[in-house]
Amino acid sequence: MSALVLGHMNPDTDSIVSAIAAADLYSKRGFSVAPAAQGEPTPETEFVLRKFGLTAPRVVKDVAGKELWLVDYSDLPQAPAGMDSATILGIVDHHKLGDVTTSTPLEAWIWPVGCTNTVLKNMYDFYGVEIPKNIAGAMLCAILSDTVIFKSPTCTEADKKAVDALAKAAGVTDVKALGMEMFKVKSAVEGASMKDLVFRDYKDFDMGGKKVGIGQLEVVDLSILANVKDGLYEEIRKVKGEGRHSVFLLLTDIMKEGSEMLIVSDDPSVVERAFAVKPDGKSVWLPGVMSRKKQVVPNFEKAFK
């Protein structure tokens, strides 16, 4: 039985490409592994896979009894069913350390950088394994996606350095143009249901014992979302109704570099405590806020304490 390399729930481009790249690297190191994902690729990820001729990993929703390598997360709310009887062999990640535990020693590569694929690029170098051209291209896109083309405060020099090297390996000459092409695909909302949009990039967190959901949609211009905003609000009200204290949806304008946050909460004053701004009814504009991980989750964690 081969081990699975598996990213987080509601997989983004980083989770899916990390699984593909890590599975390539681990198999070249002699492990028997296969990439997997907890869901189908988003339109952005589909674009990346198509562009570089890769296939989406198979969808796995239960890992009972399996051996796992985790990529792009290490917390249980992002994990699939059956984790308690799975064996975690390793973690490659760039988030805060989560709450998974292991019964055996593991290989962990967790770096404070903008993208799991930046860590993986350095792992390829460490093990002296050459990155296949198509995987290099997809890894490059994952870094551009997670760092919002270097604009996110999560972006580090290591991410930029990895992008330079991966662009050379993949034969990509205009990295920013590729990034914008990808974000235009990501911005498209036609044909997607409100539920699809809310869960496209959505995570549940445990904050001071309360279940809090935070979703994010990144677009090249907020006007793209004008016609769906009311529908999105209705949808997060439903999601909150499924036993959550709060649900927040970040509508991020990557050109204006800020986010409008839609708010549904049992205690909306947490938003004021977290960001020192007074919400205007259902939403608030947060200038400069691009990163859920670095600018939103830590603030809410403090506010919920």
Buried b (16+ CB within 10 A) or exposed e, 137-174: bbbbbbbbbbbbbbebbbbbebbbebbebbbebbebee
Structure tokens given for 190: 């036609």
With CB under 5 A as the rule, give the number of residues binding Mn ion.
6
- How near is the Cβ of 114 to Mn ion at its closest, in Å? 8
Rg (CA), the chain: 19
| Contact positions with Mn ion (CB under 5 A) in 135-194 | 146
Query: CA-to-CA distance for 191 and 136, rounded, in angstroms?
Result: 31
Residue 93 or 235: which CB sits closer to Mn ion?
93
Closest CA to 245 of 204, 200, 289: 204
- How near is the Cβ of 178 to Mn ion at its closest, in Å? 18
Applying CB under 5 A, among 4, 5, 6, 14 the residue interacting with Mn ion is: 14
Residue span binding Mn ion (CB under 5 A) among the ranges 11-19, 21-29, 175-183, 207-215: 11-19
Cβ count near 296 (within 10 Å): 21
Residues 6 or more apart whose CB falls under 8 angstroms from that of 103 comprise: 87
Residue 146 or 204: which CB sits closer to Mn ion?
146
Interface with Mn ion, residue 204, by CB under 5 A:
no
Interface with Mn ion, residue 75, by CB under 5 A:
no
Residue 72 or 218: which CB sits closer to Mn ion?
72
Cβ count near 119 (within 10 Å): 23
Interface with Mn ion, residue 72, by CB under 5 A:
yes
Residue 203 or 244: which CB sits closer to Mn ion?
203
Interface with Mn ion, residue 12, by CB under 5 A:
yes
Interface with Mn ion, residue 201, by CB under 5 A:
no
Interface with Mn ion, residue 235, by CB under 5 A:
no
- How near is the Cβ of 115 to Mn ion at its closest, in Å? 5
| Contact positions with Mn ion (CB under 5 A) in 97-116 | 116
Burial class (CB in 10 A: 0-12, 13-18, 19+), 298: middle
Residue span binding Mn ion (CB under 5 A) among the ranges 5-13, 25-33, 61-69, 296-304: 5-13
Interface with Mn ion, residue 218, by CB under 5 A:
no
* 13-28 helix and 43-51 helix, angle to the nearest 10 degrees: 40
Cβ count near 266 (within 10 Å): 10
Binding stretches for Mn ion (CB under 5 A): 12, 14-15, 72, 116, 146
